[in-house]
Amino acid sequence: MIAPHRRSVLGGLCSCGLLGLGGCVTNMANEAPMTAGYRPQSDTDEGGLWYIVDRVERNVERSRYRVRDPDWNTYLTDIVRRLSPDLHADMRVYLLRAPYFNASMAPNGMMQVNSGLLLRAKDEAQLAAVIGHEIGHYTQKHGLARMRDAKARADVGIFLSMGLALAGVGAAGDLANLLLIAGQYSYSREHEREADEIGLQRMAAAGYRPMAASEVWQQLIEEDEADPNRQSPSVLFATHPAQQERMETLKGRAQQISGGDRHADRYRTHISKIRALLLEDELRLRQYDRSLVLLRRLQAETPEDGELIYFEGEVYRLRDGDGDRRLARETYEKALAAGGCPPEAWRALGQIQRKDSQHDAARGSFRRYLELKPEADDRMIIKSYLERSV
């Protein structure tokens, strides 16, 4: 699973000794790789795991959070097919409306992709980098390996607690759990590295530009660094290799594999249909610094895109700090000049003008909004501004 938001609950409890002890329960594993059409026997632990995730999948299928847009679902399925010509028929992709960068893969072939990931990918190759990574988890049966590792740790934990208690260590159970959890996270990091490598190989084989994988991580680092509320990374408990290390490893590997295509135009065609909705979800989080990094990155690709400029203005309007009202007004004006922005840009501009007592200008902006969107569900309140002297 890709997960940029790292755990902090147990952060700071770093100790090489703990890592060593915690990591000793199982070796990196080595489940037989996935084969086409594979389904485990139901009376095995793997069969039990599949039974559980099959049930989860039925809930995901029905979920209200699922984006059912047929165009997007076909598009994602096509990317999976390109990346995995051998196993694609055994995988299902579910797009979920969640404004965070994340994707996950279940042992039974259920892949979940967050809408926040689509917004953050600059091109199809970047999206394929994440999907390829998830396919890596599937092909290597990492879910099964983690379940078996967790079971082994639970068994060892009982003995470890008893041993520590006999040795007179206070809170023995807590310490034993800590050792085991530390090992589990270390184990997961190895899976992430393996999935990264497999993803990269599959990208290259499918004709995607491999450098896109490191770019994804570079972009996440930039967003993280801009976020004043970011949490400090926990060396011990991060399930994933540190972002910087991961980015550099992927970059080094990609330099050895040249070629490939970004498929930026194809991606833009698809994302343009849902991008406004995704940006609204993004702004509702009110993580202004992150959002500005994201928007500026997207604008670098298409500088004259009025929709992106409008949403940058929305960040300033919502943030409402010193000078933000002026910035918002200028940005809305730029967006409207560029074209392609939604009618709400006129409403937003009108609100700023109204606050700045530019009554005639505000009235003009609100009128334009209602002309462009006569059935707007806030038309009554906007009309009330026009009826009053603004």
Partner 1 sequence: MQTRKIFRLIAVTLLLGVAAACAPYSLVPPAKTEVAGFTVENDIAWNKINQLRLESSAPVGYWTADGPALNGILFIGGVRSGEPILKLSGTEKDATFVFRDSMTPVEVVELWEATLAKLYSTSLADAKNIQPGRFAGLDGFSFDLDYVTKDEVDRRGRGHAAVKDGRLYLIFYSGTRLHHYGLRLPAAERIAQTAKIGS
Task: State the DSSP H helix or E strand holding residue 111, giving kind and residue range, or none if neither.
Answer: strand 110-114
Q: Contact with partner 1 (CB under 8 A): which of 148, 193, 251, 355? A: 355
Residue 297 CB-density burial (10 A; 0-12 exposed, 13-18 middle, 19+ buried): middle
- Number of residues counted as binding partner 1 (CB under 8 A): 32
Query: Cα separation of 171 and 279, whole Å?
Result: 48
Q: Which of 12, 14, 1 is nearest to 231 (CA)?
A: 12
Binding status of residue 378 toward partner 1 by CB under 8 A: yes
- Is the Cβ of residue 43 or residue 322 nearer to partner 1 in the bound state? 322
Binding status of residue 384 toward partner 1 by CB under 8 A: yes
Q: Which residue has the tokens 């390109």?
A: 82
Least distance (Å) between residue 287 CB and partner 1: 8
Least distance (Å) between residue 3 CB and partner 1: 9
Angle at alpha carbon of residue 211, lines to 225 and 81, rounded to 5°? 115
- Is the Cβ of residue 9 or residue 32 nearer to partner 1 in the bound state? 9
Least distance (Å) between residue 265 CB and partner 1: 28
- 3-class DSSP state for residue 340? coil
Query: Cα separation of 54 and 106, whole Å?
Result: 9
Asked whether the beta carbons of 189 and 199 are under 8 A apart, the reply is: no
Asked whether the beta carbons of 301 and 122 are under 8 A apart, the reply is: yes
Binding status of residue 351 toward partner 1 by CB under 8 A: yes
Binding status of residue 8 toward partner 1 by CB under 8 A: yes
Of 41-49, 185-193, 211-219, 312-320: span binding partner 1 (CB under 8 A): 312-320
Query: Cα separation of 310 and 375, whole Å?
Result: 21
Q: Contact with partner 1 (CB under 8 A): which of 319, 334, 359, 373? A: 319
Asked whether the beta carbons of 221 and 120 are under 8 A apart, the reply is: no
Q: Contact with partner 1 (CB under 8 A): which of 81, 97, 189, 268? A: 97
Binding status of residue 299 toward partner 1 by CB under 8 A: no
Least distance (Å) between residue 64 CB and partner 1: 5
Least distance (Å) between residue 7 CB and partner 1: 6
Binding status of residue 32 toward partner 1 by CB under 8 A: no
Binding status of residue 5 toward partner 1 by CB under 8 A: yes
Binding status of residue 55 toward partner 1 by CB under 8 A: no
Least distance (Å) between residue 350 CB and partner 1: 9
Binding status of residue 231 toward partner 1 by CB under 8 A: yes
From residue 117, how far is each of 176, 322, 362 by CA, in Å?
Answer: 37, 31, 37
Q: Contact with partner 1 (CB under 8 A): which of 281, 333, 338, 372? A: 281
Asked whether the beta carbons of 328 and 363 are under 8 A apart, the reply is: no
Using CB under 8 A, which residues numbered 147 to 186 contact partner 1?
A: none
Asked whether the beta carbons of 306 and 335 are under 8 A apart, the reply is: yes
Q: Contact with partner 1 (CB under 8 A): which of 7, 251, 268, 373? A: 7
Asked whether the beta carbons of 103 and 1 are under 8 A apart, the reply is: yes
- Is the Cβ of residue 98 or residue 147 nearer to partner 1 in the bound state? 98
Least distance (Å) between residue 237 CB and partner 1: 11
- With a CB cutoff of 8 Å and minimum separation 6, the contacts of 177 are 157
Least distance (Å) between residue 376 CB and partner 1: 9
Binding status of residue 98 toward partner 1 by CB under 8 A: yes
- Is the Cβ of residue 90 or residue 281 nearer to partner 1 in the bound state? 281
Query: Cα separation of 314 and 331, whole Å?
Result: 9
- Over the range 225-245, which residues count as b (16 or more CB within 10 Å of their CB) and which as e? ebeeebeebbebbbbbbebee
Binding status of residue 253 toward partner 1 by CB under 8 A: no
Using CB under 8 A, which residues numbered 320 to 339 contact partner 1?
A: 320
Residues in touch with partner 1 (CB under 8 A): 5-9, 62-65, 97-99, 115, 231, 281, 284-288, 318-320, 347, 351, 354-355, 377-378, 380-381, 384
